[in-house]
């Protein structure tokens, strides 16, 4: 199975699980569930949950035990997109080729749908996780790490720094700090959660953490490059938005060739980190190629 086949199968598994785990649209209050589902099933590539499942496999674990955490992380990713897109934040009208949540449901429902997705993510992580037979102690560690990654030193802190940085000129150190919080923290916990739920050793966890941090960095740099060079029809949102918002990115700070070099360097370090893992880590290796070569 090559990586693209793995991604297709994983996305199907994750989508089916998300459909089972989310409240149905027929449950009251219907509109909040419709709004949650609208953004969850709006064409996400499911990269984060794929990393969670691949990390569980890489340490020789059972992917099924990591599935609730994988889905929780995808719901958290969706919640952060809904809130970031709000008029009071980045004010984006389109996401993945579709109108953003608040354009369809209104700001009030979009705020609540984001809140509800985050809440539901943690609920299913615990509830389904227990049913899956994961030890309470491991599950608590995962909840602790996930909530840490989402807090004011992670996801939320990164968005906060990003809002404050608009129109300011940044140096590389600032960029690293913003991105390691805003994008990096969730990639990191996606991989670590998979490794923990798969029963990985402390040494496994250390190398996979190094992998995840470099993967996240490469992903972010590629994202910045695509905002300049990308094809709008493929990406599904306006390109050039960073320049219009006067945002400093890896592309604007270093220029495209040097940004590419930095992305390649991070990819190479991500691969090196996996050296002591065997064939079971191949999907994590392929994921690096995928992120380096992606066009959307």
What residues line the site for its own copies (CB under 8 A)?
23, 27-29, 31-33, 36, 83, 86, 88-89, 106-109, 111-112, 114-116, 118-120, 122-123, 126-127, 130, 135-137, 139-140, 143-144, 147-148, 150-153, 156-157, 159-161, 163-164
The DSSP output letter for 28 is S
Whole-number minimum distance, CB 186 to its own copies, in Å?
12
176 versus 210: smaller Cβ distance to its own copies: 176
Whole-number minimum distance, CB 290 to its own copies, in Å?
30
147 versus 209: smaller Cβ distance to its own copies: 147
24 versus 43: smaller Cβ distance to its own copies: 24
Within 8 A by CB and 6+ apart from 53, the residues are 10, 13, 14, 63, 66, 67, 70, 194
48 versus 83: smaller Cβ distance to its own copies: 83
Structure token pair of residue 249: 């990115």
Whole-number minimum distance, CB 216 to its own copies, in Å?
19
28 versus 202: smaller Cβ distance to its own copies: 28
Whole-number minimum distance, CB 31 to its own copies, in Å?
7
What are all long-range contacts of 233-242, with beta carbons under 8 Å and residues at least 24 apart? Answer: 234/295, 234/296, 235/296, 236/43, 236/94, 236/95, 236/96, 236/97, 236/98, 236/296, 237/92, 237/94, 237/95, 237/96, 237/97, 238/94, 241/92
123: Cα separation from own chain's centroid: 19
Distance (Å, rounded) from C-alpha 230 to C-alpha 238? 9
74 versus 282: smaller Cβ distance to its own copies: 74
Helices marked H in 22-106? 30-40, 47-58, 63-85, 101-105
Whole-number minimum distance, CB 89 to its own copies, in Å?
5
Whole-number minimum distance, CB 200 to its own copies, in Å?
19
Residue 287 near residue 215 (C-beta atoms within 8 A): yes
């Amino acid at each position: 199975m090559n990586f693209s086949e793995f991604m297709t199968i994983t996305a199907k598994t994750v989508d089916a699980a998300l459909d089972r785990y989310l409240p149905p649209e027929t449950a009251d209050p219907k509109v909040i569930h419709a709004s949650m589902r609208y953004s969850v099933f709006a064409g996400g590539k499911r990269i984060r949950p794929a990393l969670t499942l691949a990390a569980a496999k890489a340490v020789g674990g059972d992917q099924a035990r990591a599935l609730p955490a994988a889905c929780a992380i995808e719901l958290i990713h969706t919640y952060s997109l809904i809130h970031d897109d709000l008029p009071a934040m980045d004010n984006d009208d389109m996401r993945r080729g579709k109108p953003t949540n608040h354009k369809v449901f209104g700001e009030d429902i979009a705020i609540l749908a984001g809140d509800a997705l985050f809440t539901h993510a943690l609920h299913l992580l615990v509830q389904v996780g227990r049913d899956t037979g994961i030890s309470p102690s491991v599950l608590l560690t995962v909840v602790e790490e996930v909530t840490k990654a989402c807090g004011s030193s992670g996801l939320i802190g990164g968005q906060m720094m990003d809002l404050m940085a608009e129109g300011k000129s940044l140096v590389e150190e600032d960029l690293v700090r913003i991105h390691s919080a805003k994008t990096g923290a969730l990639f990191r916990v996606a991989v670590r959660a998979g490794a923990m739920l798969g029963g990985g050793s402390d040494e496994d966890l250390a190398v996979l953490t190094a992998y995840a941090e470099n993967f996240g960095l490469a992903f972010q740099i590629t994202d910045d490059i695509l905002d300049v060079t990308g094809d709008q029809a493929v990406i599904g949102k306006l390109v050039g938005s960073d320049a219009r918002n006067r945002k400093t990115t890896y592309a604007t700070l270093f220029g495209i060739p040097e940004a590419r070099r930095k992305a390649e360097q991070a990819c190479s370090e991500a691969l090196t980190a996996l050296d002591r893992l065997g064939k079971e880590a191949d999907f994590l290796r392929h994921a690096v190629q995928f992120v380096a070569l992606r066009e959307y």
